[in-house]
Structures are given as structure tokens and as C-alpha cells.
Structure 1
Amino acid sequence: MPTQTLQQALHIVGIALHTHNGEAFDTIPQHWQRFGSEQVLSRIPNKLSDDVYAVYTRFENSPLRPDSRYTLIIGAAVTSTDAMPEGMSSVTIPPSLRKTYPVEPATPQQVGATWLQLWQEPGLQSTAVADFERFTPDGRIEISIGVA
């Protein structure tokens, strides 16, 4: 995949989950269910769009290790975090060099399988600052990894 540059920081507001790769296939689907059942997207003020971001951040060690603990925030990009609703968290994705990988459109169930493939890619090293998935209302899905 060619690299791209994220020119401006993205500020994401949403709900947070602290988890690790060893339990992620159990905890992350439950977190997505919470995101939907609590209608989180509709409660986020100052949204830039209806794109949904799932941001992996605050890594305690290498994102590729099975015991890597991290925070997952599912939410939306916003113009300001000033009016963040109670119970929500925020993360800033800094301007960065990134590799972006498409996932088959309208198939969220393929996201986990795509991550498993990416972890096998020779030489791929995440900066472990903020990797994310972006889901657009028209069904497009992409995974974006910060690279050095």
C-alpha cells in the first residue's frame, strides 16, 4: 500500500473500551453493540460528518503483540471536544504518515480478518499512536495505520 499523509489532526469523540488483543474478538463486538444501542453517533455534538471511526490508541506495548493492551474509542470526528457528552472520551489523531487499506465495502465482519492479514505484512510497523477504521455512510470501510 502506498503511504499517505494525514495533513490535519482529527479529533474523535465517542465511547471508550480498554481491552487487549487476546480478548478483542469478544469485547469489541460488544462495544459496537453498545455504540448502536445507545445511539452514540446521534449524541455527539460538533460532528464533521456521519463517518464512524474506531480508533485504537493508548497502547501499553507493541500493537502486534497478543497481550497488547489499548483503548478503542468508537465515535465521530468533531470540530471541537468542548461539549463532550458525559461518559464519552476523546482522542486526537495527529498529522501523520499513514498506510490505508480498504476493506470490502459493506462487510464490517471482514474488518477483523483484514487486521489479521495486516499483522502478517512483512515490515509493517505501526507508530502505536492512533490506528483507526473508518466507516462511511455509503458502506466504504478502510483501515489506516500510522507508520514511521
Structure 2
Amino acid sequence: MDLTNGFKIIGIEVRTSNQNNQSQSDLGKLWEQFYSENIIEKIPNKISNEVLSIYTDYKKNYTEDYTTIIGVPVSTLNEIPNGLFGREFDKENFQKFIAKGEMPNAVIKIWSEIWEKDEELNRKYTYDFEVYDAKSQNGENSEVEIYVAVK
């Protein structure tokens, strides 16, 4: 499924920052909540079982506050269960990266490389996202696609 043309999502969110390892703690808790509360089963109108982790509402860039959403793509936002929220994301230009290896370390490594290239990538800071599907559950052979919005 091509998500670069925009999509709707229902899931859970947290406002966080990369400062003082805050995001590591917040995102760990968000993922834990997503799985422990079986959020995926509560989401209606799913168009896939791919789990998306979206980074958006950047205050400025990756060094400032931003919002992370973990959820699933849906066909409509007409029905949003209590405690969850829905959001629509427009079409965007992306540069695609693939994190390969043990998760979450492989994803953390790729984000470090992206941050190092922040200027040359000409990032847009609208929203970026990761796609977790069957390939992301293969131990040290896992793969996660990362899409970074660029100008």
C-alpha cells in the first residue's frame, strides 16, 4: 500500500522531545500501551494491519517537541472509539530509508543517520512515519520502512 499519497489513521499519541532521552521513555510507554491494551483490535475500518508510527506537529525540528502517533491506516474517520483519536495526513514528498536488523536498535540507528544529514536532506517537518508490518517481526532480520518528508 502506498501511503505517500496521504492517509487516515486511528491510534494513540504522545507529545515528546528527543532531549534528555525523553522520547525513548515516552515512546516505549506508548508502544507498551498499544500492545498491552490491544489497540489494533479496537480500531474500526482498518485498510491494513500495518502499524504506523508517525512523527508530526514538530515545534521546529527534531531537537524540539513533536507528537508521535501509533496507529493503523483506516478508510474513514467517521467512527473513532473513546480514548483513541483519528487524523488525516496529506500527500507529501518523502525520502525512504530502510532500517534492517534487530528492533528497535536498527530504527534508532537510522534516525541517528537521518539527524546527521538533516540539512542536506532538506527536511520539511510536516510528518515522517515508520511502517511496521510482517517484515518488522523477524528478529535480527527485521526491516522497517522509514519515510522522511522532504522539500
1:145 aligned to 2:148? yes
The 3 A distance-change label for structure 1 pair 91 and 106 is farther
Greater strand content: 1
1:1-148 aligned at under 5 Å gives the runs 6=4, 8-22=5-19, 23-63=22-62, 65=63, 68-104=64-100, 107-121=103-117, 123-139=120-136, 140-148=143-151
Amino acid at match of 2:93: L
Structure 1 residue 127: Cα displacement: 1.2
Amino acid at match of 1:58: D
Q: Which runs of 5+ in 2 are unaligned?
A: 137-142
Structure 1 residue 44: Cα displacement: 0.6
Contact 1:99 1:147 in 2 (8 A): yes
CA offsets 1:79-115 (integer angstroms, 9 cap, x no match) = 0011011111223221111001001156333211210
Q: Higher RCO, 1 or 2 (CA under 8 Å, sep at least 6)?
A: 1
Q: Which runs of 5+ in 1 are unaligned?
A: none
The more displaced of 120-129 and 24-33 is: 120-129
TM-score normalised per structure 2? 0.86
Amino acid at match of 2:53: A
RMSD: 1.8
CA offsets 1:33-77 (integer angstroms, 9 cap, x no match) = 1111010111111111100000011111122x2xx1111110001
Amino acid at match of 1:73: I
Structure 1 residue 137: Cα displacement: 2.2
3-state secondary structure, aligned to 2:111: helix
Amino acid at match of 1:26: S
Contact 1:133 1:141 in 2 (8 A): yes
TM-score normalised per structure 1? 0.87
